[in-house]
Structure formats: structure tokens, C-alpha cells
Structure 1
Amino acid sequence: MNKKFYFDADEFATIANYYIRKKDILEAEHVVNTGLGMHPHSSDLKMVKTKVILVSEKYEEAYDYMLTIAEDETNVDLLLLKFECLIKLDRTVEANSYLEYILCGDLNEEDSYNFIKKVGYLFNDAEYFETAIMLLERALVVDNTNKDVLIELAYAYEMSDNID
């Protein structure tokens, strides 16, 4: 009963992301490597592989691998991976320069909102509270009902001792 199965690249990515969420990194790595064996040029699978490397805390390797993915400045997931790598590598000057560049770019309103919100979370997690506050306040202008943004913003203000 040696059956062979075929999945599209996006199906492999979905399965690997499931294992990442379950914190089963070895299984996620196996799935993404199998997928890349069948679909070696898939940007989606390469992004998932970057995530696997990131959660394995191999930040330099993740950044180097992420650079092999075709640059698409409207792909929010790819942009977020780049920021996460830069922040984990403590390359905040480069991250801030790239942030300014992206904010002046071609993202539509929804993608821009998701991008600044999630980058705000990343800066908060890395304890760069002033930048997080700036981004999260900008996200609130678009949607002032998002409870996650409000909670993250309150946390950033509290941690920066900027509560009035």
C-alpha cells in the first residue's frame, strides 16, 4: 500500500502552516521540504520555509533564505517576513529605513493596514515601543475598533511609561 499523493504548492503551504501553528516544527519542515521537492520555484513554499527557519531561531539563515524569494513589494506576507528577520537580527536601522520605503509604496489600503498593524506587533514584541506606538496609532486611524490593536497599543504605552 505504497500510495503516492500529489498536492499543489498552496496545499503543501497550508499543511506546513498548520504544523507551524501546532508548534510541530519538524513536521512542518518535512512537509515544506517535500513540497519544495515537487514545486521548487514556489514563492509560497519558500515563505513557509523561511517561517520554519525563523521559528527554529536561525535568524541569519532565515534572512538569507528569504532573499532567494522573488521580491514582490505588494506581498504583505513577504514584507512581514523580511521585517521579522531584520528585527530578530536587531537590524533596526535597516528595518526602519525599509519601513519608510514600504509606507510610501504601492500597497492598497487594506494591505497597508494589515502591514502596519502586524509590523507594529513585531516592534512591540521586540520592545521598540515608540515605533510600535507610531504604527499602531496609524492602524487605529483606519480601524479604531480592532481590539488587538488597542491592546497592543495600550501595552506599548505602558511599557514606554507614556501613559497620561
Structure 2
Amino acid sequence: MADGQAGGFLDADELTDIAEYYRAIGKNEEADEVAEYTLSIFPGATGPLAFKARLALLIEDNPKKADELAEQIADKTDLDYFYLKAEILLATYRAEEANDFLEETFSNAVDEDDREDYILDAALLFADYNEIDYAEHWTRRSTLTDDNDYKELQGRILKGHGKYAESEKIFNELLDANPYAGPYWNQLAQNQFLRNNIQASIDSSEFAIAINPNDDEALLNKANGLFSLGNYDEALKYYMRYKEISPSSDTSLIDVTIGHLYLLKNDIAKALQYYQESVRKSKDMEATFIHIAISVFDNGYVEFAYRLFSAYLSSMDEQWTFGYAYLARCCYELDKEAEYELWLKIAVGRNPEECAEVLSDLYPEGTMPEDYPGIPVIFPSQREQPGTPFPGEDSLA
């Protein structure tokens, strides 16, 4: 009776819904209290244990604790147990293992009546972690092509493959049938943003916010749109609102963005405050410093950016792809020819798209990034001031 009803009282799933509600409005202490209370009545219940495990995984960044909580679930044939185990693998960058686990479970432990739901749930899980190829693999197996979850997955897969107009069409059709679905508005806003239709993206975000003023995804979408239009003061308001309703989340990249905005406004003290806050909150300090380096580079502080990139890119593993083209550009701007060639080769190998974005103006128009290393560039030979010193940079050392 772990997930059943206790007389006339709420059952485990209903109590877990209350915990989820508290979590959604940022009351994490109350959410945890409800989950613990639920477990005191229904020990081993799937709902509250899965809830606590996901908090451990996503908020505490503690996959070991999440797995220990998952193993306390009494019913290990529950589909939510399978999804949780797969999510722990996905959250620790083991997508192939997650897929193998779900495939094995599908073959050996899922009843025929549950298979269609399982297929779409597996696809949605991969889509949530931006594992688009695996999401597509599972979606292709579904026969529920008229189901809204299937259509949503198709839209997300198309977006993941860069087919924004086709994805946008699907979400418009879904919204025609259900105009009060905030997640559809958010997906539409993201497609519009990626197509550089920024005002339409903001408008779509506003529909989602009207439906749910605490929709964190919608607030972030609108903030990004306002930022892109150069409306920095309004963008700051929405980034701050996003932070307010995500008190336990890792908002380090949002703090970097806020710091960037203050730097654009030439408020050095505020910029430093948020850069420092981003480092304090970060679950990955090296990655956060690289994002700060990109921010200060974009604001013209080339020497400071060079020092940050040099310090932290060298410690990243081979899976890391961002920042190398920026470091090459710093070397170019600072007349470091040998270092430029070194980092250029790494950048082209790791992220040719970033190379095209950051370095294309140094090469003949139409040159492909993979051809950059074989083409000489003309380095700046004389500069009155190679880079602008960044006030207070010692506080980030």
C-alpha cells in the first residue's frame, strides 16, 4: 500500500504533488518537509523518493545521494523508477548508458500495455537533456502520432536540428488547439529567438508569463530577447526575477550575464559583484571563469580575458568546446603569433562554428574554418594600448 490511499487521507502521489507545488514557488524547505512527511506514512513510495532524488540530483548536484534515494523505492517495476535511474545517468553525462538501460528495461520489464507511454516518456527525457538524436530514436518507435506529446517531441527535435521554421509551425498548431499551454509558448519563443525574430519571441514569452507569472523559462526567454534588442534595463529586471524564483538553482551563468549587462552600462563595481557571485555559486568554477572571460572580451578587456582563458582553458577536458576561438582572438589582438597558431588549431578542431563567429573577419570572405590554419593573417604590429585594463580584476583571481 506504499502508493495507495490511507483511509480518507491524501495518497503518496497527491502529497508529492503538494511538494512539487512548494518547489515550483521556491519554498524548498516546505517541499522537503512534505516529502519527508509522505515517506513517514508511505515508506518506500515512488513519488516522494523520486522527488527527493531529483532535488539531490539537480539542486544539490549529488548523483550519489540521488541514486541511494532511488534504490529505496520499494516497487522497482514502477516506470518512474526506470526513468529516474536513466535521468541520473543523463545528468552525469552518460547518455549512451542511459539509452542502453532504457532499451534493456523496455525489452525485459515493461508490460505491453505500458510500452507506448514508455516510448514517449523516454523520448521526452532525452529531449529534456538536449540529447536530440536519442530523443528522435525513441520518437520514431511511437505509433501515437496524433498525441500532443508526440507532436511536441517532433517540434523539439526539429528545433534541435536547426529546423526552426518547421518546429515553429508545429508549436503554432499545438497552440491553436491549446492556447493556454505555457510550455508551447516557451518553445515557440525559443524558435523565434533562434530565427532572429526577437520581438515575436518576446511577445510569445509574455503570453507564457500571463499564463504563469512564475514560469522561469518564460522569464528567461523574455530576458534574453530584451538583451538582444539592447533593452538592458528591462532585461536586468527579468534576469533578476528569474533569480528570485530559482533560489536553489545554479544561476551562475545568469549572474555572468547580469555582470555583462552592468559592464555594458559601465558599472564596474556591479559587474564585479555579479561575476564574483557567479563563481561562488558555480558547480563548475572553471567553466564559469571561461564564461566570464567571454563576457569581458566582448566588452573590450582583451588582456584580462587572455589571462582568464589561458588559466582555465588548459584545465578543461577534451569534451569542452567553448572559448578556444576567443583565446585565439586574444592572442591575435595582443600580437602573440605563436600562441595564436597553437590555439587556432585547437579551436578549429573543437568548435569550427565558434571560429567562424569570432575569427572570420581575419580571413578572405567565404573561407571555411578548417582552412584557417593554412592561411597567414596580418597581425597588429603597433598599438598604443593593446587592451584595456580591467579595474578590480585581482578580486577575481
Question: TM range, normalised to the smaller chain?
Answer: 0.7 to 0.9
- Aligned pair partner of 2:70 in 63, 66, 70: 66
| Alignment-mate amino acid for residue 109 of structure 2 | D
Aligned-residue RMSD, C-alpha: 2.9
Identity of aligned residues (%): 24
1:131 equivalent to 2:134? Answer yes
Q: What is the aligned residue count?
A: 156
Structure 1 or 2, whichever has the larger Rg, is: 2
Q: How does 1:110-149 map to 2 (within 5 A)?
A: 110-139=113-142, 141=143, 143-149=144-150
1:3 aligned partner: none
Q: Distance in 2 between matches of 1:22 and 1:108?
A: 36
Q: Deviations over 1:25-50 (max 9, x none)?
A: 32211111123234434344322322
Q: Equivalent of 1:95, from 94, 98, 101?
A: 98
Letter in 2 for 1:150: K
Q: 1:55 to 1:26 in 2, by over 3 A?
A: farther
Report the more deviating stretch, 22-31 or 9-18: 9-18
Q: CA deviation at 1:78?
A: 1.2
Residue aligned with 1:124, SS: helix
Structural mapping, 1:4-153, within 5 Å: 10=12, 11-60=14-63, 61-70=65-74, 72-73=76-77, 75-139=78-142, 141=143, 143-153=144-154
Partners of 2:46 and 2:23 in 1: CA distance: 17
The answer on 1:160 being equivalent to 2:164 is no
Shift of 1:131: 0.9
How far the C-alpha of 1:133 sits from its partner, in A, is: 0.5
Relative to structure 1, is the Cα distance of residues 49 and 137 closer, same or farther in structure 2, using a 3 angstrom cutoff?
same
Mapped to 2, the partners of 1:42 and 1:151 lie a distance apart of: 30
Answer 1 or 2: higher relative contact order, Cα 8 Å, separation at least 6. Answer: 1
| Distance in structure 2 (CA, Å) of the matches to 1:23 and 1:64 | 25
8 Å contact kept, 2:82–2:102: no
Q: Check whether the contact 2:86–2:99 (CA below 8 A) recurs between aligned residues.
A: no
CA distance in 1, matches of 2:162, 2:99: 22
- Displacement of 1:70 after TM fit? 3.4
Gaps of 5+ in 2: 1-7, 167-397
- 1:125, distance to aligned residue in structure 2 (A): 2.1
5+ residue gaps, structure 1, are 1-5
Give distance in 1, aligned partners of 2:23 and 2:79: 19
C-alpha distance in 2, partners of 1:34/1:96? Answer: 34
Compute the displacement of 1:106 (Å): 3.5
Q: Is the 8 A contact 1:123 1:132 kept in 2?
A: yes
Deviation string 1:109-147 (CA, Å, 9 cap, x unpaired) is 4422222212211211222111100111212x1x11112
The 1-side partners of 2:138 and 2:60 are apart by: 25
> Which secondary structure does the structure 1 equivalent of 2:140 belong to?
helix
